[in-house]
């Protein structure tokens, strides 16, 4: 698919086979201008022209989209409930790629004739690939049109997935697992797109639906993988995943709206450096990232050590019974949109962050001290932790997306890098503490994570512009909601928002010449 790395678009940008301004050259341009015109009389030039003509036709096919999906600056796409559900569905069966292998690592070890420790490299490399894609691919979404970028990544990942279904070589399997992990970052490109398409007064509730879809993907992958591998061949779950990815690709191809790139002439390496600069120049982003790190550490610590707890006395549950704990995530999927619509969309985002963290803290405390002798503890913990984490992540994202509408993918990348670091930390620390002191020790570390996160949240008020303080008042009601935000025309801002200092430094004199909308 044709992707313009610099994000250049004509002023009235549309896409499709009947537009003149597409990334590939037109047939009339091939072989008639410049050097091609000089060589057109030779047989070789004629063959080259035919080849280029075929390339042009292929590019037109790849760039084709239904008329209803084409971007019209006079009538920007409306973000409907059906579109919200479609993106949630897409996120579910895309992020699930990272988790199919986790419940069946023992089966994969036997299939490929390797040790359990070696088989664990499958899950590790999938996550490592995801981290690479997160850091190096997601920022590109601020520079290129996102529809072809998303479709290309899903197509590439789904196509490589065939190798996972067929190969009998372990080295090939783990290599493809890494590459598929790189391409599985499309949900992290969809989330900022939701932030662009949805008006401010509906942003949190719409984001929560997509975030719930990601949680559902984790649930479906683990449960479905365990069940299918238990009763049939493990390869069947990979074939099911392959079909789900191509179904997602087809649905998005026909229904995902086009959207022009929001930045012109950005340098990729400068963009990467700019993300590092954001962390030390944007107090709100730093606050959200630290909270996201601690929240993710507590989350992964719990779900990692829960397996050890339930497999040990007095429970001694089977792997299938332990896998059924993932169904608790359905509660989160059901509650999240209502919570976001009633609270996050109406009150300052910090209020939802603190409320979600407090909700989670109560569940962790209860589980830590009763979970060793009654299964009610882990159940309460799972419900309250999953719900609180969902509420907090949604509010954090909604908050930081307002920093710079033209840099939402980079901002989301910074946030997710911190969250991913928290996941790694939580897994390592949780396992070590559980091995040394059992459930109470690992649970106490989770209490500490969330306690520190609450302190980080309350030291800086929702309207504070500095690093610490509560300037701007204590009013919990949001005062920044607009009925409808203007759409994008060419390379203009998506919505009215002042440029942050970090953004001005990144874009240099071009940004300084622009006046805030």
The reported pLDDT for the residue numbered 60 is 66
Residue 490 backbone class (left: φ over 0; alpha: ψ -120 to 50; beta: rest): left
**Hey, is 65 helix, strand or coil?**
coil
The reported pLDDT for the residue numbered 235 is 92
Q: At what angle do helices 235-255 and 81-95 cross, to 10 degrees?
A: 150
CB count within 10 Å of CB 141 equals 27
The reported pLDDT for the residue numbered 362 is 94
DSSP state of 340: I
Contact at 8 Å (CB) between 217 and 95?
yes
The reported pLDDT for the residue numbered 43 is 45
Tokens, residue 424:
């790694």
The reported pLDDT for the residue numbered 174 is 92
**Hey, is 230 helix, strand or coil?**
helix
Q: How far is Cα 278 from Cα 501, in angstroms, rounded to an integer?
A: 9
Site of tokens 């994969």: 108
Residue-wise pLDDT for 237-267, tens only, equals: 999 999 999 999 999 999 988 877 777 677 8
CA 507 to chain centre: 25
Q: What are phi and psi of 144, to 5 degrees?
A: -130, 160
pTM for the model stands at 0.71
Q: How far is Cα 115 from Cα 227, in angstroms, rounded to an integer?
A: 23
Of 513, 468, 501, 490, give the one whose Cα is nearest residue 274: 501
Tokens, residue 293:
């790190």
Q: What are phi and psi of 460, to 5 degrees?
A: -135, 115
Cis amide bond preceding 314, omega within 30:
yes
Task: List, for the chain, all residue ranges whose pLDDT scores fall below the cut of 70.
Answer: 1-63, 264, 319, 323, 331-333, 479-517
Q: How far is Cα 245 from Cα 234, in angstroms, rounded to an integer?
A: 18
Q: How far is Cα 347 from Cα 316, in angstroms, rounded to an integer?
A: 44
CA 45 to chain centre: 46
The reported pLDDT for the residue numbered 461 is 86
The residues, ordered by sequence, that sit 6+ positions from 355 with a Cβ below 8 Å of its Cβ are 343, 391
**Hey, is 486 helix, strand or coil?**
coil
In order of 187, 196, 371, 432, 437, the CA distances from 305 in angstroms are 27, 38, 12, 10, 12
Of 398, 484, 404, give the one whose Cα is nearest residue 211: 398
DSSP state of 390: H
Residue-wise pLDDT for 386-422, tens only, equals: 888 888 888 898 888 888 888 888 888 899 889 888 8
Q: How far is Cα 480 from Cα 318, in angstroms, rounded to an integer?
A: 51
Radius of gyration, CA atoms only, the chain: 24
Residue 489 backbone class (left: φ over 0; alpha: ψ -120 to 50; beta: rest): beta
Q: How far is Cα 14 from Cα 16, in angstroms, rounded to an integer?
A: 7
């Amino acid at each position: 698919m044709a992707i313009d790395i610099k994000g250049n678009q004509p002023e009235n940008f549309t896409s499709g086979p009947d537009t003149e301004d597409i990334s590939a050259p037109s047939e009339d341009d091939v072989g008639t201008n410049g050097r091609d015109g000089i060589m057109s009389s030779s047989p070789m030039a004629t063959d080259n022209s035919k080849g280029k003509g075929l390339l042009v036709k292929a590019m037109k096919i790849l760039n084709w989209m239904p008329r209803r999906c084409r971007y019209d600056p006079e009538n920007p796409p409306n973000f409907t409930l059906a579109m919200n559900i479609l993106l949630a569905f897409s996120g579910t069966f895309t992020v699930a790629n990272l988790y199919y292998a986790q419940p069946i690592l023992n089966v994969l070890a036997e299939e490929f004739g390797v040790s359990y420790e070696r088989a664990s490299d499958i899950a590790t490399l999938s996550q490592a690939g995801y981290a690479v894609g997160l850091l190096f691919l997601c920022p590109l979404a601020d520079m290129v049109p996102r529809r072809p970028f998303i479709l290309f990544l899903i197509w590439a990942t789904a196509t490589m997935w065939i190798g996972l279904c067929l190969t009998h070589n372990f080295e090939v399997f783990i290599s493809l697992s890494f590459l598929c992990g790189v391409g599985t970052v499309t949900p992290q490109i969809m989330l900022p797109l939701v932030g662009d398409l949805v008006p401010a007064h509906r942003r949190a509730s719409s984001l929560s639906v997509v975030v719930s879809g990601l949680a559902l993907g984790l649930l479906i992958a683990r449960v479905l993988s365990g069940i299918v591998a238990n009763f049939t061949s493990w390869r069947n779950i990979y074939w099911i995943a392959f079909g789900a990815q191509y179904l997602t690709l087809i649905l998005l191809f026909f229904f995902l709206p086009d959207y022009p790139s929001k930045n012109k002439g950005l340098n990729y390496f400068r963009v990467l450096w700019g993300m590092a600069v954001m962390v030390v120049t944007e107090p709100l982003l730093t606050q959200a990232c630290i909270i996201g790190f601690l929240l993710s550490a507590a989350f992964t610590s719990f779900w990692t050590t829960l397996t050890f707890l339930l497999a040990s006395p007095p429970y001694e549950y089977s792997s299938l019974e332990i896998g059924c704990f993932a169904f608790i995530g359905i509660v989160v999927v059901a509650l999240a949109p209502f919570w976001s619509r009633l609270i996050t969309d109406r009150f300052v985002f910090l209020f939802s962050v603190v409320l979600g963290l407090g909700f989670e803290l109560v569940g962790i405390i209860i589980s830590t001290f009763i979970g060793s002798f009654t299964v009610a503890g882990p159940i309460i913990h799972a419900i309250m932790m999953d719900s609180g984490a969902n509420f907090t992540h949604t509010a954090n994202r909604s908050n930081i997306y307002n920093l710079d509408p033209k840099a939402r993918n980079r901002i989301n990348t910074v946030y997710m890098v911190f969250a991913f670091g928290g996941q790694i930390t939580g897994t390592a620390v949780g396992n070590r503490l559980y091995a040394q002191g059992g459930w109470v020790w690992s649970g106490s570390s989770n209490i500490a994570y969330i306690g520190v996160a609450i302190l980080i949240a309350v030291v800086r008020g929702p309207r504070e512009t500095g690093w610490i303080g509560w300037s701007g008042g204590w009013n919990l009601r949001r005062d920044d909601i607009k009925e409808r935000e203007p759409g994008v025309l060419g390379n203009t801002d998506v919505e009215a928002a002042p440029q942050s200092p970090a953004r001005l430094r990144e874009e240099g004199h071009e940004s300084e010449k622009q006046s805030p909308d």
